[in-house]
Structure 1
Amino acid sequence: MRNLSFGVNDGDVIALTGKNGAGKSTLLRILARVSQPDGGTVFYNDVDILKRAGVRKKRNSLFRP
């Protein structure tokens, strides 16, 4: 993926669709902070998630692409 930008509001439901290798799982891994992006930034509430200190992952969360 290149030049991806989107916003999600409370209560929104989104779907990621695309061919194999399009980057759907990679995007989810980056949002879950399991992987880091090759470039660019990811903001959550106007804060770069890679620079945000003290962010804890939920103990009982599950990630499965």
Structure 2
Amino acid sequence: MTVEQALARANARTGLGRLATPEEVADAVLFLSSPRASYISGAIPFDRWSHHSDGHLTLPFHAPP
């Protein structure tokens, strides 16, 4: 696999179709290390589907009423 193919594959697997720029990563790090991120817990909320690192999707568990 060439570098170009690997980059295209990585871009295709992201929500925005591209990798983050260094500036975007730095902004996220600054925010997450600031007091403004005090309520950020590391949990990722999903509207309906959960994406897993291996690419599969699952519906979230809902306990019966």
State TM-score, norm by structure 1: 0.24
> Quick check: which one's helix share is greater?
2
Tell me which of the two structures has the higher relative contact order, counting C-alpha pairs closer than 8 angstroms and 6 or more residues apart.
1
